[in-house]
Structure 1
């Protein structure tokens, strides 16, 4: 089973940013919630700040913010802790 150590956070290239702008958007207010990835998700954060931890908690976490491109592996069970409202472009593989 994947963990937050398998989450990829990077600064996107110009081409990746251009492609991501054609994807749907999703947003949420500051909050905390459980999430299970049934597919691989790639997203580009437009706004916000998030820390994601494993579920159950392994003591590991990954953080990302506006401007980051993030890839979440299929099978990841995690908790999203949104400290600043999020808006993102996303796609599922």
Structure 2
């Protein structure tokens, strides 16, 4: 499996995951490094982002995407448009 998985979820999938109950996080336009110590699932409410794994190709996603980040992922985030997301760590 790739370290970053992006999908377009159905309303049923979002409801089954309980996304509306997850906390939200916002970030201004910026670039920063991040390392995942556990798997994160995020539903993007607003914004546009490109995440580049340490030894991989850049992955872009935006509002309406459900994104899974694998545990152990070491990457650089480039927030291109103000980000707001629901998130859940497994």
State whether TM-score is above 0.5.
yes
Q: Shift of residue 15 of structure 1?
A: 2.3
Q: Which residue does 2:63 correspond to in 1?
A: 66
Runs of at least 5 residues in structure 1 that lack an aligned partner in the other structure: none
TM-score (normalizing by structure 2): 0.91
Q: Which residue does 1:40 correspond to in 2?
A: 39
Q: CA-to-partner distance for each residue in 1:2-29, whole Å, 9 max, x for gaps?
A: 8xx4211000121232321110000010
Paired residues, number: 88
What secondary structure, in the 3-state scheme, does the structure 1 residue paired with 2:13 have?
helix
TM-score (normalizing by structure 1): 0.88
Q: Shift of residue 59 of structure 1?
A: 5.7
Q: Does 2:1 match 1:7?
A: no
Q: Shift of residue 73 of structure 1?
A: 0.1
Q: Which residue does 1:89 correspond to in 2?
A: 86
What secondary structure, in the 3-state scheme, does the structure 2 residue paired with 1:39 have?
coil
Inter-CA distance 74–21: structure 2 relative to 1 (3 Å threshold): same
Q: Does 2:75 match 1:75?
A: no
